[in-house]
Amino acid sequence: MRFHVRALPTIAAVFWGALAVGAGATGTEPAADPQVDPAPCVAAVTANDDDRIMSACGILIDSQKTTRGDRIQALLARAAVFRRRNEVDRAIADYDTVVWLDAALAEAYNSRGELWRRTGDRRKALEDFDAALKRNPDFIAARSNYRDLVLELERLGALMAVYNKPSFNCARTRRAVEKAICADPRLANLDREITAVNAKVVERARSQDPEAGRALHRAQDAFVAQRNAAFGRTDFDLLKAMRARLEQLLALEQSR
């Protein structure tokens, strides 16, 4: 499976274009009430400075004086930072706002779909890839993402039949962490997918190098042991840990 992550290299260019026409744009505020200057946000994006993007673009996002177009571009810039920082939920929230402000932006749907795919929610990912293609049938990245996800769903059809159930029998579990996984559909789906992808990665490695296969098997055992030991600590986020493990395994699978 190959997962296509599309970067946002044209944000700065769009920002500069917005500045060029901004003087002629019509806002909802009275003419005497000046709009917020988007230039600091544009400069931060151009410099690829994530900290400055968070600060300068955040001001645009939060201000009631920001034009709709500038707010959308600031949200896209901040969402890209959240993606790079692996703050998936916050990135999705920004894309939610973008599509609410402009339901025609295919790029926003595709990017949000990639994040839903990262969380293990294939249904929402597929819906977003489809929405992107409906808005732009020639969107190559969205078409590739949609095709790859459909093929994956076909391969994992047997697993989808037990949607919202983990890889183990909840009726027999005694560990607190496993009970927590059984009680949360997001965790249950992540656990099942981690198990499935790990099995494929280990089997492929074993067919090429038995020792490599054993090493990957030990790595999964170590993850489970660490997960079990850390569960319940105030500084441990089970959902984040499981998402990170799935990303590691997907990266190994994509490297084939």
Q: What would the pLDDT profile of 148-157 be if each residue is shown by its tens digit? A: 888 877 776 6
Q: In whole angstroms, what is the distance from residue 75 CA to residue 174 CA? A: 44
Q: What would the pLDDT profile of 5-33 be if each residue is shown by its tens digit? A: 444 444 444 444 544 444 444 444 444 44
Query: Is the same domain home to 175 and 76?
Result: no
Query: Is the same domain home to 176 and 128?
Result: no
| Spacing of C-alpha 187 from chain mean position | 16
Q: What is the reported pTM? A: 0.51
Per the structure, the count of domains in the chain is 2
- Measured at the alpha carbon of residue 94, what is the angle toward residues 55 and 131, in degrees to the nearest 5? 150
CATH code, domain with 84: 1.25.40.10
| Spacing of C-alpha 78 from chain mean position | 13
Query: Is the same domain home to 103 and 127?
Result: yes
Q: In whole angstroms, what is the distance from residue 190 CA to residue 245 CA? A: 9
Task: Give domain status of residue 164, yes or no.
Answer: no
Residue 94, SS3 per DSSP: helix
Residue 103, SS3 per DSSP: coil
Q: In whole angstroms, what is the distance from residue 160 CA to residue 210 CA? A: 30
Task: Give domain status of residue 238, yes or no.
Answer: yes
What is the phi/psi pair of residue 237, to 5°?
Answer: -110, 105
Residue corresponding to tokens 């037990």 = 162
Q: In whole angstroms, what is the distance from residue 79 CA to residue 85 CA? A: 10
Residue 223, SS3 per DSSP: helix
- Please give the residue range of the domain that contains residue 211: 170-254
Query: Is the same domain home to 74 and 149?
Result: yes
Query: Is the same domain home to 59 and 175?
Result: no
Residue 189, SS3 per DSSP: helix
Task: Give domain status of residue 243, yes or no.
Answer: yes
Which of 99, 127, 155 delimits the end of a domain?
155
Tell me, what's the pLDDT at 163? 67
Tell me, what's the pLDDT at 158? 52
Which of 155, 188, 214 delimits the end of a domain?
155
- Range with the poorest average pLDDT among 49-53, 180-184, 246-250, 251-255: 251-255
Query: Is the same domain home to 50 and 137?
Result: yes
Tell me, what's the pLDDT at 120? 86
Count Cβ atoms within 10 A of the Cβ of residue 110 and give its class: 0-12 exposed, 13-18 middle, 19 or more buried.
Answer: buried
Q: In whole angstroms, what is the distance from residue 151 CA to residue 95 CA? A: 26
Q: What would the pLDDT profile of 75-113 be if each residue is shown by its tens digit? A: 999 999 999 999 999 999 999 999 999 999 999 999 999
Of 30, 28, 32, 34, nearest to 69 by C-alpha is: 28
Task: Give domain status of residue 136, yes or no.
Answer: yes
Query: Is the same domain home to 141 and 37?
Result: yes
Query: Is the same domain home to 103 and 27?
Result: yes
Say which DSSP state 231 is in: T
